[in-house]
């Protein structure tokens, strides 16, 4: 039979088997279980059918024995006793150690089965004591007592036969006998070497009263079951309070939108015009939102899957809860029936509602609008499958696991506060830059309208609790209000204080240790209205700032695919030319969070941004404060003084402005192999060249030649040719400045050697520098990589030397190794 190894207690009637057995089951409830035998004897006072024995008639018992329902059976003192298979199975099914209380005949029968129990004999200290105990028990008449005493003599002899029992216990002193029984079945620590333990904190030792190894229990080879007795105070889990949120998502429905507009108008005394100051308008909107759309329960979304609930289900669940309460208070059969009936009804309704909701969902997923839901569901499934939604414990900086809510919150705060305020050591820029002092136009309504249109709906709200959906729902009234608000902000260069606050949500990067803060990206939830303001400013900045063609990140009509394509073209070129090519894929560490603000202002000014806008952006960054919202609640507020705002609408472009400087600081990579276009005049060289440059501006550049001929009316000096005098040109040729020159149609033409244009491809902070190595001379390339590393260090941008990779494309020979690591390490002083 399967399950843990059973225990057989045997011995003379009155030896104390039942007494010891009951003590054991009481103390180790949940470990041992009693096999309830069948008997034809009558129940004694206090005995219960099905608990002490199954009391049956001799006929019934005989029929069961004949049918093979019993493992063993015996005639004892004029009655039939037997252990049914079902009795043992019932105990083993609960994964308890089955204890059988049987006589000597039963022991002999069991030995012929494959039950393989531990045999323990309980013996009285003497026949006299046994008789006294049996008489004192007052269960026997003289006749049955004599029968039992006679049987006892045989039983006592049997127990002395070697090999019949694993353990023989003389039950003289009950406590001593019980201790011996426990010792036979269980072992405590300190007595022998044990391989199985229960580990507990020192501080919890006082809660543990006993810990034993169950000797007979083989869990796996050489491993025994360990039983620990501990008393724990069950404290009601304190749930971290989730803020109640307005159900803004309801604004998706036109009827809710209409009601919201109507109620807002009422709140504003029948006006459609929103009050001029932000605070009043924001408060009215929030208040109306709460009233019209309602607020969430404040429970966690993942507590219960209820998206398919309908009113019927909700109502039934409520009634079921009440019925349960009623039954708990008054345990009558009527109340139980009512509760059970409601339970059944809820089950039925839930399954119906679920089916209906799924049918509707599947129909919707087949439609065009449903496409979005499909991706949302896939993302949700992906997240749920990762089991990282609720990481309630986190490691400190030394890798120790923190479990208490306070310490976890403190750690999140410490991590992000440090990250968002840490600047690398760098020399302050001494080089000044001229500021562009010019008047700027007032914000126009169409700019606001455009920005509003670009804002995505359905995003988490910032601390001001006003989603962009509100402005979309209010239409022109909102445009009017926002335009006037933005103009006031532009004029005063001060935005509402509320916008300076944000909530930081750590999002797991899906790699590394889930308990390590550094594997999380902090996404800031900011005021949507501030984001709108950022978009308006961004649109203006994009008009004045020219970002180099090599930047593919956050630029309109440019994508990752384009960047890959440009790189691919370059590689193809080198492959065709059988030349060696080095690509350095630069990885910057926490680039967004490390941009020094001073550097940002410098780069904006350097890019020609009007000083007014510089001040407006400076204001967006001033006194910005944030809190971290983690699984165990919200941390204290802290300042954010370094880096760009994560999750902001303007940051990507600001970042592009900063990164653009990488192109302009003059990292000159050795040029790729040059292409010479030649052919008769009028063959179409210039037309083809123009087409090529237009299509691949970041791949090809044109070397401007020198000529002594007169410029044609549409030509520009320095763009089409460098127009020089014959004397000048001659002098240059004599000095060796030209790699080639020729006399053509009465004029001189010539080419000076140039370095190829910087071959750099950028996708936001992901920069790829590509260099061509000629004549195995890597020195120039080495110098450039060092330049790049030095530039990053100067600008508080840390190069991640592990993730920065070098790719060497060499079709001629096998290169031993790249020089990147060495160059970067030298720069970083490692």
Ligand X SMILES: Nc1ncnc2c1ncn2[C@@H]1O[C@H](COP(=O)(O)OP(=O)(O)OP(=O)(O)O)[C@@H](O)[C@H]1O
The token pair that represents 617 in the structure block: 């952006």
What whole-number distance in Å separates Cα of residue 93 and Cα of residue 101?
A: 19
Neighbours of 789 (CB within 10 A): 23
Q: Is 40 in the site for ligand LQESDW3C (CB under 6 A)?
A: no
CB 673 within 8 A of CB 546: no
Number of residues binding to Mg ion, judged by CB under 5 A: 1
Using CB under 6 A as the binding rule, the residues of this chain from 153 to 192 that contact ligand X are 171, 173-174, 177
Candidate segments 96-104, 193-201, 543-551, 720-728, binder of ligand LQESDW3C by CB under 6 A: 96-104
Q: Is 169 in the site for ligand LQESDW3C (CB under 6 A)?
A: no
Candidate segments 16-24, 378-386, 427-435, 515-523, binder of Mg ion by CB under 5 A: 16-24
Closer to ligand LQESDW3C by CB, 96 or 563: give it.
96
Residue 701 partner contact from ligand X, ligand LQESDW3C, Mg ion, none using kind-dependent CB cut-offs of 5 to 8 Å: none
CB 672 within 8 A of CB 759: yes
Q: Is 137 in the site for ligand X (CB under 6 A)?
A: yes
Q: Helices then strands (H, E): number in the chain?
A: 26, 29
- List 133, 137, 542, 709, catalytic entry: 137
In the complex, least distance from residue 18 CB atom to ligand X, rounded to whole angstroms: 3
Candidate segments 16-24, 33-41, 206-214, 627-635, binder of ligand X by CB under 6 A: 16-24
In a 13 Å sphere around the CA of 190, the CA atoms on its Cβ side amount to 3
CB 33 within 8 A of CB 91: yes
Candidate segments 103-111, 246-254, 415-423, 713-721, binder of ligand LQESDW3C by CB under 6 A: 103-111
φ, ψ of residue 753 to 5 degrees: the values are -70, 140
Q: Is 13 in the site for ligand X (CB under 6 A)?
A: yes
Q: Is 79 in the site for ligand X (CB under 6 A)?
A: no
* Nearest residue to ligand LQESDW3C, scored by beta-carbon proximity: 106
Q: Is 136 in the site for ligand X (CB under 6 A)?
A: yes
Q: Which of 13, 121, 171, 767 binds ligand LQESDW3C (CB under 6 A)?
A: 13
Please report which helix (H) or strand (E) contains residue 17, including its range.
Answer: helix 17-27
> How far is the first Cα of the chain from the last one, in angstroms, to the nearest whole number?
67
Q: Is 536 in the site for ligand LQESDW3C (CB under 6 A)?
A: no
Name the one residue in this structure whose structure tokens are 């993730």.
803
Q: Which of 19, 730, 751, 810 binds ligand X (CB under 6 A)?
A: 19
Could you confirm whether 594 is annotated as catalytic?
Answer: no
What whole-number distance in Å separates Cα of residue 295 and Cα of residue 297?
A: 7
Taking alpha carbons only, the member of 177, 245, 256, 621 closest to residue 460 is 245
Q: Is 41 in the site for ligand LQESDW3C (CB under 6 A)?
A: yes
Residue 102 partner contact from ligand X, Mg ion, ligand LQESDW3C, none using kind-dependent CB cut-offs of 5 to 8 Å: ligand LQESDW3C
Name the one residue in this structure whose structure tokens are 């580990």.
199
In the complex, least distance from residue 88 CB atom to ligand X, rounded to whole angstroms: 19
- Three-class SS string for 131-170? HHHHHHHCCCCHHHHHHHHHHHHHHHHHHHCCCCCCEEEE
Q: Is 409 exposed, middle or buried (0-12, 13-18, 19+ CB in 10 A)?
A: buried
Closer to Mg ion by CB, 148 or 594: give it.
148
Q: Which of 4, 6, 34, 37 binds ligand LQESDW3C (CB under 6 A)?
A: 37
What whole-number distance in Å separates Cα of residue 608 and Cα of residue 700?
A: 27
Q: Is 133 in the site for ligand X (CB under 6 A)?
A: yes
Q: Is 115 in the site for ligand LQESDW3C (CB under 6 A)?
A: no
Closer to ligand LQESDW3C by CB, 177 or 504: give it.
177
The token pair that represents 427 in the structure block: 């020399």
What whole-number distance in Å separates Cα of residue 218 and Cα of residue 216?
A: 6
Q: Which of 10, 17, 107, 479 binds ligand X (CB under 6 A)?
A: 17
What whole-number distance in Å separates Cα of residue 817 and Cα of residue 829?
A: 21
CB 633 within 8 A of CB 409: yes
Q: Which of 4, 6, 14, 750 binds ligand X (CB under 6 A)?
A: 14
In the complex, least distance from residue 107 CB atom to ligand LQESDW3C, rounded to whole angstroms: 8
Q: Which of 3, 5, 18, 449 binds Mg ion (CB under 5 A)?
A: 18
What whole-number distance in Å separates Cα of residue 281 and Cα of residue 285?
A: 6
Decide: helix, strand or coil at residue 665.
coil
* Nearest residue to Mg ion, scored by beta-carbon proximity: 18
Q: Which of 20, 102, 225, 669 binds ligand LQESDW3C (CB under 6 A)?
A: 102
Closer to ligand X by CB, 53 or 248: give it.
53
Q: What burial letters (b/e) apply to 83-92, b meaning 16+ CB within 10 Å?
A: bbebbbebbb
Residue 672 partner contact from Mg ion, ligand LQESDW3C, ligand X, none using kind-dependent CB cut-offs of 5 to 8 Å: none
Using CA atoms in the order 52, 55, 60, 63, what is the torsion angle rounded to 10 degrees? 20
Closer to Mg ion by CB, 168 or 242: give it.
168
Using CA atoms in the order 546, 552, 557, 561, what is the torsion angle rounded to 10 degrees? 160
The token pair that represents 143 in the structure block: 């006749």
Could you confirm whether 261 is annotated as catalytic?
Answer: no
- Strand order across the beta sheet in which 805-809 lies: 760-763, 766-773, 580-586, 805-809
CB 801 within 8 A of CB 824: yes
Using CB under 6 A as the binding rule, the residues of this chain from 16 to 35 that contact ligand LQESDW3C are 17
Could you confirm whether 44 is annotated as catalytic?
Answer: yes
What is the radius of gyration, based on Cα positions, of the chain?
Answer: 43
Active site residues: 44, 137, 148
Residues that bind ligand LQESDW3C (CB under 6 A): 13, 17, 37, 41, 72, 74, 76, 81-83, 101-103, 105-106
Footprint of ligand X (CB under 6 A) = 11, 13-19, 133, 136-137, 171, 173-174, 177
């Amino acid at each position: 039979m399967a399950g843990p190894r059973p225990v057989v207690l045997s011995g003379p009637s009155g030896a104390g088997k039942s007494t010891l057995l009951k003590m054991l089951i009481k103390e180790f409830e949940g470990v041992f279980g009693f096999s309830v035998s069948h008997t034809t004897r009558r129940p004694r006072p206090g005995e219960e059918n099905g608990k002490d024995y199954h009391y049956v008639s001799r006929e019934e018992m005989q029929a069961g024995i004949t049918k093979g329902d019993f493992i063993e059976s015996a005639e004892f003192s004029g009655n039939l006793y037997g252990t049914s298979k079902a009795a043992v199975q019932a105990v083993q099914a609960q994964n308890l150690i089955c204890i059988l209380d049987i006589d000597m005949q039963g022991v002999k029968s069991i030995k012929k089965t494959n039950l393989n129990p531990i045999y323990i004999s309980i013996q009285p200290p003497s026949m006299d004591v046994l008789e006294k105990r049996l008489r004192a028990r007052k269960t026997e008449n003289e006749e049955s007592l004599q029968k039992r005493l006679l049987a006892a003599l045989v039983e006592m002899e049997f127990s002395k036969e070697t090999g019949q029992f694993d353990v023989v216990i003389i039950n003289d002193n009950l406590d001593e006998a019980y201790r011996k029984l426990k010792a036979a079945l269980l072992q405590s620590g300190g007595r022998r070497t044990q391989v199985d333990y229960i580990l507990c904190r020192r501080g919890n030792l006082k809660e543990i009263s006993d810990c034993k190894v169950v000797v007979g229990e083989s869990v796996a080879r050489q491993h025994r079951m360990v039983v620990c007795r501990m008393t724990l105070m069950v404290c009601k889990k304190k749930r971290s309070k989730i803020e109640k949120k307005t159900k803004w998502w309801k604004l998706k429905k036109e009827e809710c939108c209409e009601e919201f507009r109507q109620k807002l108008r009422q709140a504003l005394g029948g006006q459609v015009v929103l009050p001029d100051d932000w605070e009043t308008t924001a408060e009215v909107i929030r208040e109306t939102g709460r009233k019209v759309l309602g607020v969430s329960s404040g429970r966690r979304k993942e507590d219960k899957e209820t998206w398919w609930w309908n009113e019927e289900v909700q109502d039934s669940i409520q009634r079921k809860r009440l019925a349960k309460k009623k039954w708990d208070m008054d345990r009558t059969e009527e109340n139980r029936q009512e509760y059970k009936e409601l339970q059944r009804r809820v089950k039925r309704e839930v399954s119906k509602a679920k089916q209906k909701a799924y049918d509707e969902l599947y129909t919707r997923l087949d439609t065009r609008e449903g496409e979005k839901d499909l991706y949302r569901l896939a993302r949700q499934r992906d997240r749920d499958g990762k089991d990282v939604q609720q990481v309630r414990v986190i490691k400190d900086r030394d890798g120790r696991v923190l479990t208490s809510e306070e310490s976890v919150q403190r750690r999140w705060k410490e991590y992000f506060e440090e990250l968002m305020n840490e600047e690398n050591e760098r020399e302050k820029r001494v080089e000044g830059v001229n500021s562009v002092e010019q008047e700027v136009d007032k914000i126009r309504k169409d700019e606001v309208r455009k920005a509003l249109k670009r804002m995505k709906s359905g995003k988490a709200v910032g601390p001001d609790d006003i989603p962009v959906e509100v402005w979309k729902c209010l239409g022109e009234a909102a445009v009017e209000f926002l335009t006037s608000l933005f103009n006031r902000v532009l004029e005063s260069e001060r935005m509402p204080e509320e916008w300076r606050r944000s909530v930081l949500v750590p999002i797991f990067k899906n790699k590394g240790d889930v308990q390590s803060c550094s594997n999380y990206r902090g996404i800031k939830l900011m005021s949507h209205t501030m984001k709108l303001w950022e978009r308006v400013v961004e649109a203006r900045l994009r008009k004045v700032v020219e970002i180099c063609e090599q930047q593919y990140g956050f630029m309109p009509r440019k994508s990752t695919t384009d960047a890959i394509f440009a790189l691919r073209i370059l590689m193809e070129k080198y492959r065709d030319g059988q030349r060696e090519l080095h690509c350095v894929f630069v990885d910057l560490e926490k680039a967004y969070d490390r941009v020094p603000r001073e550097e940002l202002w410098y780069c904006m000014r350097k890019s020609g941004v009007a000083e007014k806008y510089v001040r407006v952006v400076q204001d967006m960054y001033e006194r910005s404060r944030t809190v971290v919202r983690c699984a165990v609640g919200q941390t204290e507020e802290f300042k954010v003084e370094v880096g760009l705002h994560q999750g902001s609408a303007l940051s990507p472009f600001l970042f592009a402005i900063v990164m653009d400087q990488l192109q302009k600081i003059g990292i000159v990579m050795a040029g790729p192999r040059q292409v010479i276009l030649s052919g008769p005049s009028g063959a179409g060289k210039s037309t083809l060249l123009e087409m090529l440059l237009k299509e691949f501006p970041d791949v090809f550049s044109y070397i401007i030649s020198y000529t002594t001929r007169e410029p044609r009316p549409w030509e520009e000096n320095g763009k089409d040719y460098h127009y020089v005098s014959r004397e000048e040109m001659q002098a240059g040729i004599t000095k060796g400045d030209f790699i080639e020159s020729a006399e053509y149609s009465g004029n001189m033409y010539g080419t000076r050697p140039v370095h190829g244009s910087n071959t750099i491809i950028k996708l936001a902070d992901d920069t790829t520098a590509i260099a061509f190595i000629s004549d195995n001379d890597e020195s120039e390339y080495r110098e450039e990589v060092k330049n790049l590393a030095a530039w990053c260090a100067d600008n508080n941008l840390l190069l991640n030397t592990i993730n920065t990779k070098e790719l060497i494309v060499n079709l001629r020979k096998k290169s031993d190794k790249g020089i990147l690591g060495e160059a970067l390490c030298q720069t970083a002083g490692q």
